[in-house]
Amino acid sequence: MSTPHVLLIEDEPAQREVLAYNLEAEGYRVSRGEDGEQGLLLVDEEAPDLIVLDWMLPSVSGIEVCRQLKMRPETRAIPIIMLSARSEEVDKVRGLETGADDYVVKPYAVAELMARVRTQLRRVRPSTVGQVLEYEDIRLDSETHRVTRAETELKLGPTEFRLLSTFMEKPGRVWSREQLLDRVWGRDIYVDTRTVDVHIGRLRKILTAHGDDPVRTVRGAGYALG
Ligand code: CA
């Protein structure tokens, strides 16, 4: 079981970053596509669990991206949530029967879109959404993004949340820094392995405010929970 992977295809940088930030804060791994053509390439390269797709895109339009993905057997099952600027477009999309799994009209409330994302992911990846992971007195709810230790709520940043979530999926497993980079930051982003140590440090600081340090440093290998 890995972190759900969302591909976001949106050409407007500000909207893309706000949305990516919110998806990451929900604990998802996020890839970003800037136009339709790049989006289609990323689907093949990364096999995401869900796609959030803007209707108005340069090069290949969102509607065409959706049509192509829904025609191909290997990508047909990936849920697609279309974003469109006006409700008339939504009607048009429905009329064209592109096979999008859901539609959200801009401007949308982020919480609403996140709820739609969860609904679609629950359908295709039921084990990764809405699950509560427990390790000793630590509880992590992947749906509400809440983490508690000894009944006290902890405030974790998105990266620390994903680190803890990865650890809690497999307590005792030793993760190398490179494996954590892949799982938590994503393969396509260049991050120095020392960044992992920095975020492990932050995670430990938060966790140890309410108990013993559950994160074990394995010399020459990496980190493990317990
Ligand atoms: Ca657009």
Expressed in angstroms and rounded, the spacing between residue 165 Cα and the centre of ligand 1 is 32
The alpha carbon of 27 and the centre of ligand 1 are apart by a number of angstroms equal to 25
Q: Which CATH number fits domain 128-225: 3.50.50.60, 3.40.50.2300, 3.90.1150.10, 1.10.10.10?
A: 1.10.10.10
Instruction: State the pTM of this model.
Output: 0.60
- Predicted confidence at residue 153, as pLDDT, reads 95
Q: Which two tokens stand for residue 88?
A: 């008339």
Q: 54 C-alpha vs ligand 1 centroid, how far in Å?
A: 6
The confidence score (pLDDT) of residue 127 equals: 64
User: Would you give the end-to-end CA distance of the chain in angstroms?
Assistant: 19
pLDDT in tens, 23-45: 998 889 999 999 999 999 999 99
8 is written with which tokens? 């976001």
Distance from the alpha carbon of residue 46 to the mean position of ligand 1, in angstroms? 22
Summarised one tens digit per residue, pLDDT across range 212-221 is 999 999 999 9
CA–CA gap between residue 6 and residue 21 (Å, rounded): 12
Distance 7 CA to ligand 1 centre (A): 15
Q: For the segment 64-108, what is each residue's pLDDT rounded down to a tens digit?
A: 999 999 998 889 889 999 998 766 666 666 645 678 888 888 888
Bridge-based pairing state of the strands 29-33 and 5-9: parallel
Flag whether pLDDT at 136 surpasses 70.
yes
- 217 CA distance to ligand 1 middle (Å): 45
Read off the pLDDT of residues 137-190 as tens digits, 9 standing for 90 and up. Answer: 999 987 788 999 998 999 999 899 999 999 998 888 899 998 898 888 876 667
CA–centroid distance, 18 to ligand 1, in Å, is: 14
Distance 67 CA to ligand 1 centre (A): 17
H or E element: which one contains 120? Answer: helix 110-124
- Architecture of the structural domain at 5-124: 3-Layer(aba) Sandwich (3.40)
Of residues 30 and 1, which shows the higher confidence score? 30
Distance of CA 4 from the midpoint of ligand 1 (Å):
24
Say what percent of the chain tops pLDDT 70. 90
53 touches 82 (CB < 8 A): yes
Distance from residue 82's CA to the centre of ligand 1 (Å): 11
Question: Given phi > 0 = left and psi -120 to 50 = alpha, else beta, which region is 4?
Answer: beta
C-alpha 128/C-alpha 125 separation (Å) is 6
Domain residue ranges in the chain: 5-124, 128-225
